[in-house]
Chain A
Amino acid sequence: DQQVKQNSPSLSVQEGRISILNCDYTNSMFDYFLWYKKYPAEGPTFLISISSIKDKNEDGRFTVFLNKSAKHLSLHIVPSQPGDSAVYFCAANLNYGGATNKLIFGTGTLLAVQP
């Protein structure tokens, strides 16, 4: 049962344009959402996050939007740069109470930014 889904396995965008990566989830108990960037044979790098009580968070070129009613979030990158080319993972945090929580990852979207 895939609780976090990224339905687009890949996305190609021209340099300077906007990249929009999408993520859907099923569990309404998720309280925090995160985006990670990953290069092959490396660990994921944290990009940006959003609490479930907010609908937007912005950090430089990266903006994450959350639509709780639709159980959907998206990552916008503008302007896109060739160095942004990587696999992007959406992750959702499930809090079991106290200090116990865990991240559930989506399947990833490979972004290719064309010069």
Chain B
Amino acid sequence: GAVVSQHPSRVICKSGTSVKIECRSLDFQATTMFWYRQFPKQSLMLMATSNEGSKATYEQGVEKDKFLINHASLTLSTLTVTSAHPEDSSFYICSVPGWYNEQFFGPGTRLTVL
């Protein structure tokens, strides 16, 4: 399957700052990438679908002005958490769709907002 990387793997920031997370598809060109969030002991929740060359599609309840997504190329999507607050602390994971309906996930980014 596709190899997906994320950077950074973990980040700690102060409340009010912005944090950028990168998701790269290393061996597969992806016109679509997905961003998920997982709170402790909970399921993965889809936040948004990143589309190369057009605007991201956000799930209900996800603030598009807070979670900025840019699909810069066929191998790179970025998620910027703007004005982060402690409640944004979570595990953020991106994925790339496979040939069928599977998705291949990156290793995730642990965000801690102090």
Contact = CB atoms under 8 A, between A and B. Distances in A.
Interface in A63-115: 89, 93, 95, 99-108
A103 B46 contact: yes
Given A41-B91, A46-B104, A49-B100, A105 B44 contact: yes
Given A44-B105, A45-B105, A99 B32 contact: yes
A34 interface: yes
Given A34-B102, A41-B108, A102 B43 contact: no
Nearest to A92: B101
A43 B106 contact: yes
Q: Is the interface of A mostly helix, strand, loop or mixed?
A: strand
B77 to A, nearest CB: 14
B42 A42 contact: no
A32 interface: yes
Interface string B39-57: 0001111100100000000
B49 A102 contact: yes
Q: Is the interface of B mostly helix, strand, loop or mixed?
A: strand
17 contacts: A32-B101, A34-B102, A41-B110, A42-B107, A43-B6, A43-B105, A43-B108, A46-B1, A46-B105, A49-B101, A100-B49, A101-B101, A102-B34, A102-B46, A103-B46, A105-B43, A106-B43
A46 B44 contact: no
Interface string B1-23: 10010100000000000000000
Q: How large is the interface on B (under 10, 10 to 19, 20 to 34, 35 or more residues)?
A: 20 to 34
B2 to A, nearest CB: 10
Contacts of B6: 43
A32 B95 CA distance: 17
Interface in A38-55: 41-46, 49
B45 to A, nearest CB: 8
B80 interface: no
Nearest to A36: B105
Give the one of A34, A102, A107 with max B CB within 10 A.
A102
